[in-house]
Amino acid sequence: MKYLFAIGLVGLALSLSAQNFQRNEIKIPDIPGYLTLKCDFHLHTYYSDGEVSPESRVREAWIEGLDAIALSDHLEGWRFKDGEDASRNKPFEDAKEMAQIQDIILIRGIELTKGMPPGHFNLLFLHDADKIHKKNYKLALQEAKKQGAFILWNHPGWKQQAPDGAVWYNEHTEIYNNGWMHGIEVSSWGSFYPEAMDWALEKDLAVVGNTDSHIPMNDFLSLTDMSHRTMSIVFAKERTAEGIKEALLDKRSVVWNQDKIIGRKDIVEQLVKECISIKSVIKINKYDYYVQLYNNSDFNFLISLVDGNGWTQKVFAGNTIRFYIKTKEVNELKLRFENVIISSDEVLETVIKI
- Tens of pLDDT along 9-63? 445 555 554 556 799 999 999 999 999 999 999 999 999 999 999 999 999 999 9
What average pLDDT does the structure give for the chain?
Answer: 91
Residue 160 has pLDDT above 90, yes or no: no
Residues 6+ apart with CB under 8 A from 289: 281, 282, 283, 324, 325, 326, 327, 330
Q: Which of 286, 217, 207 is nearest to 250 (CA)?
A: 207
Residues 6+ apart with CB under 8 A from 340: 260, 261, 262, 268, 272, 301, 347, 348
* CA pseudo-torsion sign 118, 119, 124, 126: positive
- Say how far apart CA 310 and CA 336 lie, in whole Å: 11
Q: Higher confidence at residue 85 or residue 86?
A: 86
Domains of the chain in start order, with CATH, are 35-263 (3.20.20.140), 276-353 (2.60.40)
The pLDDT of residue 134 is 82
Q: 12: phi > 0 → left, psi -120 to 50 → alpha, else beta; which?
A: alpha
Confidence of residue 163 (pLDDT cuts 50, 70, 90): confident
Among the ranges given (9-13, 103-107, 297-301, 319-323), the one the predictor scored with the smallest mean pLDDT: 9-13
pTM, entire model:
0.90
- Say how far apart CA 276 and CA 196 lie, in whole Å: 28
The SS3 call for residue 259 is: coil
The pLDDT of residue 6 is 44
- Say how far apart CA 156 and CA 168 lie, in whole Å: 9
The pLDDT of residue 9 is 46
Got the DSSP string for 193-244? -HHHHHHHHHHT-EEEEE--B-S-HHHHHHHHT-SS--EEEEEESSSSHHHH
Residue 3 has pLDDT above 60, yes or no: no
Burial class (CB in 10 A: 0-12, 13-18, 19+), 87: middle
The pLDDT of residue 256 is 98
The pLDDT of residue 2 is 38
**Mind listing the pLDDT tens digit for each residue in 93-124?**
999 999 999 999 999 999 999 999 999 999 99
Among the ranges given (128-132, 274-278, 303-307, 319-323), the one the predictor scored with the smallest mean pLDDT: 303-307
